Amino acid sequence: MIVKIKWAVIGELRKVLKPLHYPLAVMLVCVRWYAACPLSFRHLEEMMQERGNIVDHSTLHRWSLKIPLILALIFRRRKCPVGMSWRLDETYIKVAGQWKYLYRAINLLGQPEKITIDKSAANTTAIKSVNVDVCLNIELRQSNYLNSIDEQDHRGVKQVTNPMMGFQVLWSAQS
């Protein structure tokens, strides 16, 4: 089953990226390295030259803008519903030289039935006030252990933002 999905995704990618002149494997490796590691396009250009593939940094930039969007569309079509549960947590990030809270939700799919948070009093008050104001009945679960998925996800955010030395505006941090 997994092999069939992989080949189907590669087939769909080839249809969209057919006019491009580079092998699909090279493009996917470059985009994966850029997304997974804190590398610049010029570093990737040098790494590809060492492997015998001459790719310009501006081409890598275009790939990094185009290919993840295509992959997201392909995977979204194949995505199964995961339920109506949100896991909400906050982390500190540096915005314009000041530390700010960044609130993030995982498994966001429609209006939630349950929200899992840590023992934060601010989050508890906010969710209870939304329940009262909008007349919703969202179940609130408070557990540090159930919310550990969020805590692990913050590590990836910090790994990407640390080489950038923070953000200039909060909007770019949210996106």
- What pLDDT, in 10s, does the model give residues 13-26? 777 776 667 888 88
Gyration radius (Cα) of the chain, Å = 20
Report the pLDDT value the prediction gives residue 175, as an integer from 0 to 100.
Answer: 63
pLDDT interval class at 3 (50, 70, 90): very low
Report the pLDDT value the prediction gives residue 142, as an integer from 0 to 100.
Answer: 81
Kindly give, in sequence order, each residue whose CB lies less than 8 Å from that of residue 138, ignoring residues fewer than 6 positions away.
112, 113, 114, 115, 127, 130, 131
If you search the block for the tokens 């314009």, which residue do you land on?
96
pLDDT tops 70 at residue 143:
yes
Q: ∠ CA 9-11-12 to the nearest 5 degrees?
A: 65
Report the pLDDT value the prediction gives residue 146, as an integer from 0 to 100.
Answer: 63
pLDDT tops 90 at residue 104:
no
Task: Compute CA 20 distance to the chain's CA centroid, rounded to the nearest angstrom.
Answer: 26
Cα separation of 22 and 29, whole Å? 12
pLDDT in tens, 22-77: 888 888 899 999 988 889 999 999 999 999 999 999 999 988 998 888 888 888 87
> H or E stretch including 91?
strand 85-95
Tell me the average pLDDT of the chain.
Answer: 77
Q: What is the pTM of this model?
A: 0.45
Q: Tell me the mean pLDDT in the region 138-165.
A: 67
Specify whether the CB–CB gap between 116 and 141 falls below 8 A. Answer: yes
Adjacent-strand bridge partners of 92: 101
Task: Using alpha carbons, select from 92, 71, 83, 81 the residue that is nearest to residue 8.
Answer: 71
